Structure 1
């Protein structure tokens, strides 16, 4: 049986993604090398952090692409193919180098069903390899987009740590303090903090620009290319809208009912983290708008489920696993689904005095967490997570033309992996 590892979550594709991300970062490093030490230092530091990520989003894109490959490129995967023995199947081993050699003259519009170019088994194999190389480049772009959002998010939240370790801003501060010896000078340290946050915003902007450049370089005018650009732009726009809503909710500028919080979570996380990778895989495979639409809906469900699970882990998970302060969301006044549910319960008057005050002792935090359980907030969120997962499974199980059984297996494995995560 095909597993998530077999269709893109195992070591071979991870190595391919890392190689492509490194290539992009090195190329940009060469470009900024003559622009001064400040940008060189910042880019090197960001690159070192970016290369150490989990690669969830690009791995999802490649997993989906490989799961769709048998439907998208059937001629290239048959045993009768005269090149089958000398050319491994797309999911076996690294395809970055082979696909890159086929890049010239082969763009997104020349996918399955295209009238351009030669026909036959060899052309089918070339098309499959070229498409997979394009998928890797778009996957790298999404990882750059993700890290850009992380940098901006840390500035917005005023964070110096991520997952229990210094983030980009925190590491810059450590470097600069060690170099300047200013840690004992409060005024100088405040200036360094401002400079580190400004650097994070600017490098985030540069990463966003690099991600967009990759996407635009991979397409030419045509239906498929325009759809990919449209989905990338939509992901950026909705993610920014979700972040703005999160800021407004935390400041009390807008209402914080459950529907608002859930929609904010969908925009902020689901659109770019799950929906964009799945839609991109469908577009690059050339399987048509119907398959893209179905996988987009699946991505929206699973992305929202992922964010709701994050909210649960932040409050009810173990700090050693997720690397966050056990009560940071409560202390900072994060408007999560848990809080939205509790707000309408009888225990809210007991929670409210401790929520978003910036001060919360261990005993007070434990009390608030207990009250959240007492009102059933954690149970309701878990029910919603299960419903979203079940609906995603059911949608893929209908197997619209082109999706095929491998995608159902991938989604099943992904849901089980997400359910079992602790960070």
Structure 2
């Protein structure tokens, strides 16, 4: 099954929400316009994983797989919107996100900066909430039998709880009450990324195909390894990436003191005394280059790359045993060549 089915399902879900909103209030409808913009531009590997797993396991519910795949992508959109609120970011994928868009609208209308920022934040929270509700509704109406729908709802519920725990841990560890351990940092990353981006779509595809509990559990392990590899690469892009190409800030993680494995490892190195002076504040371009160099010479970047490679190897072994195409795995967790060659990154 191509991505056409899931793209069409996602577009319909958003248009249905926009139509209901337009009947209520034009400002409410604008939330759905911003939500539609937020859903554009992604790699769509999450719905692809749902469909590929369903097909690899001999599933016959292609239409339902498209619906559930679109629901997973809508769930991802909700988390991205909320994550930007948590991080105080107003740009995503190189353009204003929901919060940034509504802040600009408010300022154009004459609102004070502080009030406009609050309006943008409010809009983002509400848009994320709407996307979450629409995703769960889509699962409930996907067309599968009642037992399968109940299993899918349980999977989505578990992913929601796990991801919420991971996001809270992410912010809690950044408070700096005590240095995060590598184990704590990795557990946080697994919770906030693996659960919904990889474990959920893999196991949802298996549920739609009627797979047994052993296969579902094995796919859960694969998903956790895939998700951790993905998040570790994302951490590297969050410091070494070019925002023009990645669509995300290269200073946000440093400004918010995110306790990623990159910084946890750096704390154990002699370079830490210099590195910590760059944390917790906005950085100029030259300062970003300086801290990137320190994180490289300290061995921290190479350490994280090694962790990502280990998790990717484990995921490849597991996914091959189930019979899912490795192309999807490679596309979802690929490390850009500029991250691998040891040069300054523009990923």
Q: State the TM-score, normalizing by the size of structure 2.
A: 0.90
Shift of 1:412: 5.1
Corresponding residue for residue 266 of structure 1: 190
Match in the other structure for 2:78: 148
Matched, 1:275 2:205: no
Alignment partners' CA distance in 1, 2:141 and 2:135? 10
Over 6 Å off, 4+ runs: none
1:40 positional shift? 1.4
What's the CA shift string for 1:257-304, capped at 9, x where partnerless? Answer: 111111111111111011101111111011211111111111110111
State how 1:98-117 maps to structure 2 within 5 Å.
none
1:67 aligns with 2:83: no
Among 107, 118, 124, the residue aligned to 1:177? 107
How far off is 1:208 after superposition? 0.7
After superposition, the Cα gap between the structure-2 partners of 1:210 and 1:319, relative to the gap in structure 1 and judged at 3 Å, is closer
Matched, 1:136 2:59: no
Q: Which consecutive residues of structure 1, in runs of 5 or more, have no partner in the other structure?
A: 1-7, 73-127
Q: Name the CA distance, whole Å, in 2 between partners of 1:158 and 1:416.
A: 29
Match of 1:118 in 2: none
Distance between the aligned counterparts of 1:417 and 1:207, measured in 2?
23
- Residues 320 and 36 (structure 1), Cα distance of their counterparts in 2 relative to 1, 3 Å cut: closer
Deviation, 1:220, is: 5.1
Structure 2 match to 1:89: none
Give 2:17's aligned residue: 28
Alignment partner, residue 341 of structure 2 = none
The CA distance in 2 between the partners of 1:39 and 1:416, in whole Å, is 36
Q: Distance in 2 between matches of 1:364 and 1:230?
A: 46
Structure 1 residue 65, shift from structure 2 partner: 2.1
Structure 1 residue 359 displacement after superposition = 3.5
Alpha-carbon spacing, 1:375–1:51, altered in 2? closer, same or farther (3 Å): closer
Given that 2:38 and 2:81 are in contact with CA atoms closer than 8 Å, whether structure 1 keeps it comes out as no
The match for 1:39 is 28
Q: CA, structure 1 residues 307+65, in 2 after alignment: closer, same or farther (shift >3 Å)?
A: same
Residue in 2 aligned with 1:414?
A: 329
> CA RMSD, aligned part only?
2.1
Residue 382 (structure 1) aligned to one of 305, 310, 335 = 305
> Which stretches in structure 2 are left out of the alignment for 5+ residues?
337-345
* CA positional deviation for 1:254: 5.2
Query: Take 1:35 and 1:320, find their aligned partners in 2: how far apart are those partners?
Result: 37
Q: Does 1:158 align with 2:73?
A: no
Indicate the residue corresponding to 2:160 in structure 1: 236
1:337 aligns with 2:252: no
Q: 1:294 aligns with which of 188, 193, 218?
A: 218
What SS does the aligned partner of 2:3 have? helix
Matched positions, count? 337
CA contact (8 A) 1:275 1:295 kept: yes
Which residue in 2 is equivalent to 1:370? Answer: 293
1:249 pairs with one of 153, 167, 173: 173
- What is the match of residue 19 of structure 1? 8
Q: From the superposition, tell whether residues 327 and 202 of structure 1 become closer, same or farther in structure 2 (CA, over 3 Å).
A: closer
Aligned partners of 1:168 and 1:200 also within 8 Å: yes
Deviation, structure 1 residue 309 = 0.2
Q: Select 1:212's aligned residue among 136, 140, 143.
A: 136
3-state DSSP class of the match of 1:231?
A: helix
* Deviation of 1:375 (Å): 2.0
Of the candidates 255, 273, 295, which is equivalent to residue 349 of structure 1?
Answer: 273
Deviation at 1:420, TM superposition (A): 4.5
Q: 1:215 to 1:325 in 2, by over 3 A?
A: closer
Would you say the 8 A contact 1:21–1:51 is kept in 2? no
C-alpha contact 1:248 1:254 (8 A) present in aligned 2: no
Q: Separation in 2 of the partners of 1:198 and 1:152?
A: 10
Shift of 1:147: 1.0
Cα displacement (A) at 1:41? 1.8
Q: 2:284 aligns with which of 361, 371, 377?
A: 361
